[in-house]
Protein backbone atom coordinates (compact mmCIF):
# COMPACT_ATOMS: atom_id res chain seq x y z
CA UNK A 1 0.00 0.00 0.00
CA UNK A 2 2.77 2.47 0.96
CA UNK A 3 4.62 1.67 -2.28
CA UNK A 4 1.48 2.34 -4.35
CA UNK A 5 0.92 5.70 -2.69
CA UNK A 6 4.58 6.68 -3.20
CA UNK A 7 4.33 5.87 -6.90
CA UNK A 8 1.16 7.94 -7.26
CA UNK A 9 2.77 10.90 -5.54
CA UNK A 10 5.76 10.68 -7.91
CA UNK A 11 3.38 10.62 -10.88
CA UNK A 12 1.64 13.77 -9.60
CA UNK A 13 4.90 15.63 -9.06
CA UNK A 14 6.01 14.83 -12.62
CA UNK A 15 2.76 15.45 -14.51
CA UNK A 16 4.00 18.66 -16.12
CA UNK A 17 7.38 17.16 -16.96
CA UNK A 18 5.67 14.19 -18.63
CA UNK A 19 3.41 16.42 -20.70
CA UNK A 20 5.97 19.05 -21.71
CA UNK A 21 8.07 18.82 -24.87
CA UNK A 22 11.28 20.59 -25.86
CA UNK A 23 11.06 22.84 -28.92
CA UNK A 24 13.35 24.94 -31.07
CA UNK A 25 12.74 28.66 -30.54
CA UNK A 26 13.43 31.57 -32.94
CA UNK A 27 12.04 35.08 -32.86
CA UNK A 28 13.22 38.69 -33.20
CA UNK A 29 15.49 38.32 -30.14
CA UNK A 30 16.36 34.59 -30.09
CA UNK A 31 18.07 32.52 -32.79
CA UNK A 32 18.43 28.74 -32.45
CA UNK A 33 17.13 28.86 -28.90
CA UNK A 34 14.93 26.34 -27.10
CA UNK A 35 11.76 26.40 -25.01
CA UNK A 36 9.44 23.88 -23.34
CA UNK A 37 5.69 23.68 -23.73
CA UNK A 38 2.67 21.53 -24.48
CA UNK A 39 3.47 21.47 -28.22
CA UNK A 40 5.82 23.04 -30.79
CA UNK A 41 5.24 25.06 -33.93
CA UNK A 42 7.12 26.22 -36.99
CA UNK A 43 5.76 28.94 -39.28
CA UNK A 44 6.98 29.84 -42.77
CA UNK A 45 6.01 33.26 -44.07
CA UNK A 46 7.08 35.60 -46.86
CA UNK A 47 7.85 39.29 -46.60
CA UNK A 48 9.27 41.42 -49.42
CA UNK A 49 10.14 38.26 -51.37
CA UNK A 50 12.18 36.83 -48.45
CA UNK A 51 11.20 33.66 -46.56
CA UNK A 52 11.15 33.65 -42.77
CA UNK A 53 10.84 30.69 -40.42
CA UNK A 54 9.59 31.23 -36.87
CA UNK A 55 9.73 28.44 -34.27
CA UNK A 56 8.14 28.45 -30.82
CA UNK A 57 6.31 26.50 -28.13
CA UNK A 58 2.79 26.93 -26.75
CA UNK A 59 1.55 26.37 -23.20
CA UNK A 60 -1.96 25.97 -21.82
CA UNK A 61 -3.96 25.58 -25.04
CA UNK A 62 -5.02 22.69 -27.26
CA UNK A 63 -2.82 21.62 -30.16
CA UNK A 64 -4.66 22.27 -33.45
CA UNK A 65 -5.99 19.18 -35.18
CA UNK A 66 -4.18 19.97 -38.46
CA UNK A 67 -0.51 18.99 -38.77
CA UNK A 68 0.20 21.83 -41.23
CA UNK A 69 -1.96 24.53 -42.80
CA UNK A 70 -1.35 26.57 -45.94
CA UNK A 71 -3.10 29.93 -46.24
CA UNK A 72 -4.17 32.18 -49.12
CA UNK A 73 -0.88 34.15 -49.00
CA UNK A 74 1.27 31.00 -49.18
CA UNK A 75 2.19 31.09 -45.48
CA UNK A 76 2.47 27.73 -43.72
CA UNK A 77 2.17 26.74 -40.05
CA UNK A 78 2.87 23.28 -38.60
CA UNK A 79 2.38 21.78 -35.12
CA UNK A 80 3.90 18.76 -33.37
CA UNK A 81 4.32 17.41 -29.85
CA UNK A 82 7.59 15.49 -29.62
CA UNK A 83 10.99 16.83 -28.55
CA UNK A 84 12.59 19.15 -31.12
CA UNK A 85 10.08 18.18 -33.80
CA UNK A 86 9.63 21.72 -35.18
CA UNK A 87 12.31 21.51 -37.85
CA UNK A 88 12.06 22.57 -41.50
CA UNK A 89 11.32 18.97 -42.48
CA UNK A 90 7.96 19.29 -40.69
CA UNK A 91 6.90 21.79 -43.37
CA UNK A 92 7.01 18.93 -45.89
CA UNK A 93 4.44 16.88 -44.00
CA UNK A 94 0.68 16.49 -44.34
CA UNK A 95 -0.69 19.89 -45.46
CA UNK A 96 -4.27 21.17 -45.14
CA UNK A 97 -5.13 24.02 -47.49
CA UNK A 98 -7.31 26.53 -45.64
CA UNK A 99 -10.61 27.35 -47.38
CA UNK A 100 -10.89 30.78 -48.99
CA UNK A 101 -13.88 32.94 -48.07
CA UNK A 102 -15.07 36.44 -48.94
CA UNK A 103 -14.44 39.15 -46.34
CA UNK A 104 -15.00 42.89 -46.17
CA UNK A 105 -12.01 45.24 -46.10
CA UNK A 106 -11.64 49.02 -46.04
CA UNK A 107 -9.63 49.99 -49.13
CA UNK A 108 -9.01 53.75 -49.14
CA UNK A 109 -12.49 54.92 -48.11
CA UNK A 110 -14.63 52.13 -49.58
CA UNK A 111 -15.60 48.78 -48.05
CA UNK A 112 -14.70 46.14 -50.62
CA UNK A 113 -15.04 42.36 -50.85
CA UNK A 114 -11.68 40.55 -50.72
CA UNK A 115 -10.63 36.87 -50.63
CA UNK A 116 -9.11 35.60 -47.38
CA UNK A 117 -9.03 32.61 -45.02
CA UNK A 118 -10.45 34.45 -42.00
CA UNK A 119 -12.35 37.72 -41.63
CA UNK A 120 -11.27 40.20 -38.96
CA UNK A 121 -13.18 42.95 -37.20
CA UNK A 122 -11.57 45.13 -34.54
CA UNK A 123 -13.18 47.93 -32.52
CA UNK A 124 -10.65 49.83 -30.42
CA UNK A 125 -11.41 52.53 -27.86
CA UNK A 126 -8.98 54.55 -25.76
CA UNK A 127 -10.09 57.76 -24.03
CA UNK A 128 -7.36 60.32 -24.68
CA UNK A 129 -6.97 63.38 -22.48
CA UNK A 130 -5.09 65.45 -25.00
CA UNK A 131 -5.40 66.55 -28.62
CA UNK A 132 -2.40 65.00 -30.32
CA UNK A 133 -1.21 64.04 -33.78
CA UNK A 134 -0.50 60.52 -34.91
CA UNK A 135 3.22 60.69 -35.74
CA UNK A 136 2.82 58.26 -38.67
CA UNK A 137 0.04 59.89 -40.70
CA UNK A 138 -0.21 63.43 -39.24
CA UNK A 139 -3.84 62.82 -38.37
CA UNK A 140 -5.38 63.63 -35.02
CA UNK A 141 -5.77 60.65 -32.72
CA UNK A 142 -9.33 59.38 -32.40
CA UNK A 143 -10.75 57.75 -29.28
CA UNK A 144 -12.75 55.15 -31.25
CA UNK A 145 -11.34 53.29 -34.24
CA UNK A 146 -12.56 50.33 -36.28
CA UNK A 147 -10.58 47.95 -38.47
CA UNK A 148 -12.21 45.68 -41.07
CA UNK A 149 -10.09 43.31 -43.15
CA UNK A 150 -9.19 39.77 -44.02
CA UNK A 151 -6.55 37.76 -42.19
CA UNK A 152 -3.00 38.92 -42.74
CA UNK A 153 0.33 37.17 -42.17
CA UNK A 154 0.19 34.96 -39.10
CA UNK A 155 -3.53 35.02 -38.30
CA UNK A 156 -5.06 32.90 -41.07
CA UNK A 157 -5.13 29.68 -39.04
CA UNK A 158 -6.52 28.63 -35.68
CA UNK A 159 -3.85 30.54 -33.75
CA UNK A 160 -2.10 33.88 -34.21
CA UNK A 161 1.57 33.18 -34.98
CA UNK A 162 3.50 36.29 -35.92
CA UNK A 163 6.43 37.67 -33.94
CA UNK A 164 6.39 40.91 -35.96
CA UNK A 165 3.12 42.29 -34.55
CA UNK A 166 3.62 45.39 -32.38
CA UNK A 167 3.71 44.04 -28.81
CA UNK A 168 0.94 46.11 -27.13
CA UNK A 169 -1.43 45.26 -29.98
CA UNK A 170 -0.40 41.61 -30.03
CA UNK A 171 -1.27 41.34 -26.33
CA UNK A 172 -4.84 42.41 -27.15
CA UNK A 173 -5.47 40.33 -30.30
CA UNK A 174 -3.46 37.20 -29.58
CA UNK A 175 -6.43 34.83 -29.48
CA UNK A 176 -8.28 32.20 -31.46
CA UNK A 177 -10.37 31.82 -34.60
CA UNK A 178 -14.19 31.60 -34.46
CA UNK A 179 -14.30 33.93 -31.47
CA UNK A 180 -14.76 37.50 -30.32
CA UNK A 181 -12.71 38.91 -27.43
CA UNK A 182 -13.07 42.13 -25.46
CA UNK A 183 -9.84 42.98 -23.61
CA UNK A 184 -10.19 45.89 -21.19
CA UNK A 185 -7.20 47.43 -19.42
CA UNK A 186 -9.06 50.38 -17.87
CA UNK A 187 -12.63 51.74 -17.60
CA UNK A 188 -11.59 54.08 -20.42
CA UNK A 189 -10.26 51.39 -22.74
CA UNK A 190 -11.50 48.34 -24.62
CA UNK A 191 -10.26 46.35 -27.60
CA UNK A 192 -12.75 44.07 -29.34
CA UNK A 193 -11.10 41.50 -31.61
CA UNK A 194 -13.15 39.10 -33.76
CA UNK A 195 -11.84 36.48 -36.17
CA UNK A 196 -14.54 34.55 -38.01
CA UNK A 197 -14.77 31.96 -40.80
CA UNK A 198 -18.12 32.64 -42.52
CA UNK A 199 -18.39 34.76 -45.67
CA UNK A 200 -18.68 38.49 -44.90
CA UNK A 201 -18.95 37.77 -41.18
CA UNK A 202 -17.01 40.98 -40.44
CA UNK A 203 -19.39 43.26 -42.33
CA UNK A 204 -19.44 46.76 -40.81
CA UNK A 205 -23.09 47.21 -41.80
CA UNK A 206 -24.05 44.96 -38.90
CA UNK A 207 -23.89 46.45 -35.41
CA UNK A 208 -23.82 42.95 -33.91
CA UNK A 209 -20.47 41.22 -33.56
CA UNK A 210 -19.98 37.87 -35.34
CA UNK A 211 -20.06 36.28 -31.86
CA UNK A 212 -21.84 38.60 -29.38
CA UNK A 213 -20.14 38.74 -25.96
CA UNK A 214 -22.22 38.24 -22.80
CA UNK A 215 -22.03 40.66 -19.81
CA UNK A 216 -19.04 40.55 -17.42
CA UNK A 217 -19.09 38.39 -14.29
CA UNK A 218 -15.93 39.35 -12.35
CA UNK A 219 -14.14 42.54 -11.27
CA UNK A 220 -10.39 42.87 -11.85
CA UNK A 221 -7.42 45.08 -11.11
CA UNK A 222 -5.84 47.21 -13.82
CA UNK A 223 -2.25 48.40 -14.19
CA UNK A 224 -0.56 50.50 -16.81
CA UNK A 225 -3.05 51.62 -19.42
CA UNK A 226 -4.55 54.35 -17.24
CA UNK A 227 -1.30 56.29 -17.45
CA UNK A 228 -0.92 55.75 -21.18
CA UNK A 229 -4.44 57.14 -21.71
CA UNK A 230 -4.36 60.04 -19.24
CA UNK A 231 -1.02 60.74 -17.61
CA UNK A 232 -2.41 63.87 -15.90
CA UNK A 233 -4.14 61.59 -13.39
CA UNK A 234 -0.70 60.78 -11.98
CA UNK A 235 0.32 64.18 -10.62
CA UNK A 236 3.19 62.78 -8.51
CA UNK A 237 5.10 61.51 -11.53
CA UNK A 238 7.73 63.39 -13.44
CA UNK A 239 5.87 63.68 -16.72
CA UNK A 240 8.72 62.72 -19.02
CA UNK A 241 7.05 59.76 -20.70
CA UNK A 242 6.06 56.14 -20.20
CA UNK A 243 9.57 55.13 -19.14
CA UNK A 244 9.33 56.77 -15.71
CA UNK A 245 5.91 55.30 -15.12
CA UNK A 246 6.94 51.76 -15.99
CA UNK A 247 10.14 52.11 -14.01
CA UNK A 248 8.50 53.43 -10.85
CA UNK A 249 5.28 51.45 -10.84
CA UNK A 250 4.78 48.61 -13.31
CA UNK A 251 8.00 46.83 -12.34
CA UNK A 252 6.27 46.13 -9.00
CA UNK A 253 4.28 42.93 -9.56
CA UNK A 254 1.68 43.87 -6.93
CA UNK A 255 1.07 47.41 -8.22
CA UNK A 256 -2.52 48.18 -9.31
CA UNK A 257 -4.16 51.43 -10.40
CA UNK A 258 -5.66 52.89 -7.24
CA UNK A 259 -9.43 53.30 -7.33
CA UNK A 260 -9.68 51.83 -10.85
CA UNK A 261 -11.10 48.45 -11.91
CA UNK A 262 -12.42 46.68 -14.99
CA UNK A 263 -14.99 43.93 -15.49
CA UNK A 264 -14.97 40.81 -17.68
CA UNK A 265 -15.19 37.03 -17.79
CA UNK A 266 -11.53 36.63 -16.75
CA UNK A 267 -8.89 38.67 -14.93
CA UNK A 268 -5.44 38.66 -16.52
CA UNK A 269 -1.80 39.53 -15.82
CA UNK A 270 0.52 39.93 -18.80
CA UNK A 271 4.25 40.34 -18.03
CA UNK A 272 6.50 41.97 -20.59
CA UNK A 273 10.21 42.71 -20.86
CA UNK A 274 11.07 46.41 -20.97
CA UNK A 275 14.45 48.08 -21.38
CA UNK A 276 15.26 50.46 -18.53
CA UNK A 277 18.75 51.94 -18.20
CA UNK A 278 20.03 49.45 -20.76
CA UNK A 279 18.71 46.37 -18.93
CA UNK A 280 15.64 44.17 -19.45
CA UNK A 281 13.19 44.28 -16.54
CA UNK A 282 9.72 42.78 -16.09
CA UNK A 283 6.64 45.02 -16.14
CA UNK A 284 3.10 43.79 -15.48
CA UNK A 285 -0.05 44.75 -17.36
CA UNK A 286 -3.34 43.84 -15.66
CA UNK A 287 -6.90 43.88 -16.91
CA UNK A 288 -9.96 41.90 -18.05
CA UNK A 289 -10.88 39.60 -20.92
CA UNK A 290 -14.39 38.62 -22.06
CA UNK A 291 -14.97 36.08 -24.82
CA UNK A 292 -17.46 34.29 -27.03
CA UNK A 293 -15.66 31.34 -28.63
CA UNK A 294 -17.29 28.94 -31.07
CA UNK A 295 -14.17 27.08 -32.27
CA UNK A 296 -12.18 24.24 -30.74
CA UNK A 297 -9.85 26.66 -28.92
CA UNK A 298 -11.09 28.34 -25.74
CA UNK A 299 -9.53 30.45 -23.03
CA UNK A 300 -9.28 28.82 -19.63
CA UNK A 301 -7.76 29.74 -16.29
CA UNK A 302 -4.08 29.17 -15.58
CA UNK A 303 -0.84 30.06 -17.32
CA UNK A 304 -0.81 30.41 -21.11
CA UNK A 305 2.10 31.06 -23.46
CA UNK A 306 0.74 32.01 -26.87
CA UNK A 307 2.65 33.68 -29.72
CA UNK A 308 5.56 34.74 -27.49
CA UNK A 309 3.32 36.24 -24.77
CA UNK A 310 2.59 34.84 -21.30
CA UNK A 311 -0.89 35.25 -19.79
CA UNK A 312 -1.92 34.44 -16.21
CA UNK A 313 -5.70 34.05 -16.25
CA UNK A 314 -8.15 33.60 -13.34
CA UNK A 315 -11.88 34.12 -12.91
CA UNK A 316 -12.65 35.41 -9.40
CA UNK A 317 -12.94 39.02 -8.23
CA UNK A 318 -9.57 40.83 -8.11
CA UNK A 319 -7.60 37.58 -8.42
CA UNK A 320 -5.00 39.34 -10.61
CA UNK A 321 -3.22 41.17 -7.77
CA UNK A 322 -0.05 39.15 -8.49
CA UNK A 323 0.97 35.98 -10.32
CA UNK A 324 0.91 33.68 -7.28
CA UNK A 325 -2.61 34.77 -6.33
CA UNK A 326 -3.75 34.36 -9.93
CA UNK A 327 -2.37 30.82 -10.17
CA UNK A 328 -3.86 29.88 -6.78
CA UNK A 329 -7.26 31.18 -7.90
CA UNK A 330 -6.93 29.25 -11.16
CA UNK A 331 -6.07 26.05 -9.28
CA UNK A 332 -9.20 26.44 -7.15
CA UNK A 333 -11.48 27.55 -9.99
CA UNK A 334 -14.94 26.01 -10.07
CA UNK A 335 -15.06 25.98 -13.87
CA UNK A 336 -13.34 23.17 -15.76
CA UNK A 337 -11.47 23.83 -18.97
CA UNK A 338 -12.79 21.93 -21.98
CA UNK A 339 -9.73 22.56 -24.15
CA UNK A 340 -7.61 19.71 -22.87
CA UNK A 341 -5.00 22.07 -21.45
CA UNK A 342 -4.34 23.41 -17.95
CA UNK A 343 -7.84 22.94 -16.57
CA UNK A 344 -7.92 19.28 -17.49
CA UNK A 345 -4.52 18.63 -15.95
CA UNK A 346 -5.67 20.12 -12.69
CA UNK A 347 -8.84 18.02 -12.65
CA UNK A 348 -6.72 14.88 -13.06
CA UNK A 349 -4.55 16.13 -10.24
CA UNK A 350 -7.60 16.49 -8.00
CA UNK A 351 -8.84 13.00 -8.87
CA UNK A 352 -5.51 11.38 -8.02
CA UNK A 353 -5.32 13.25 -4.70
CA UNK A 354 -8.83 12.12 -3.79
CA UNK A 355 -7.87 8.55 -4.72
CA UNK A 356 -4.85 8.70 -2.41
CA UNK A 357 -6.98 10.01 0.42
CA UNK A 358 -9.43 7.18 -0.18
CA UNK A 359 -6.60 4.60 0.00
CA UNK A 360 -5.30 6.06 3.22
User: Do 183 and 221 form a contact (C-beta atoms < 8 A)?
Assistant: no
Asked which of 34-43, 48-57, 80-89, 101-110 is least confident by mean pLDDT, the reply is 48-57
Percentage of the residues of the chain whose pLDDT score is greater than 90: 49
Task: Look at residue 46 in the predicted model and tell me its pLDDT.
Answer: 75
Pairing of strands 95-97, 68-70: parallel
CA–CA separation, 19 and 310 (whole Å): 18
Q: pLDDT higher for 244 or 86? A: 86
User: What residues form DSSP beta bridges with 272?
Assistant: 283
Domain spans in the chain, listed from the N-terminal domain onward: 2-359
Q: pLDDT higher for 50 or 200? A: 200
Asked which of 55-64, 86-95, 226-235, 279-288 is least confident by mean pLDDT, the reply is 226-235
Task: Look at residue 12 in the predicted model and tell me its pLDDT.
Answer: 45
pLDDT in tens, 162-215: 877 888 888 998 999 999 999 998 888 899 999 999 999 999 888 889 999 999
CA–CA separation, 3 and 169 (whole Å): 52
Pairing of strands 189-196, 119-126: antiparallel
With 0.85 as the threshold, say if the pTM is over it: no
Task: Look at residue 50 in the predicted model and tell me its pLDDT.
Answer: 66
Amino acid sequence: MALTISILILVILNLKEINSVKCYHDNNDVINGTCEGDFCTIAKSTDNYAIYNQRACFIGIKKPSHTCTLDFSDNMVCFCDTDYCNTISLLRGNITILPVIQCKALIQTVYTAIPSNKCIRIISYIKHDRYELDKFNNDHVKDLQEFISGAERGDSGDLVIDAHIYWPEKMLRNFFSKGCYNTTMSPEHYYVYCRCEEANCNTPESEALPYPISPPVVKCHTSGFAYEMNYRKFETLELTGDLNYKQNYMTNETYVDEGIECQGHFCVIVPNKYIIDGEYVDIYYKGCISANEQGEQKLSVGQKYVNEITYYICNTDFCNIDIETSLDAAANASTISDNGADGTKFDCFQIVILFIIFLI
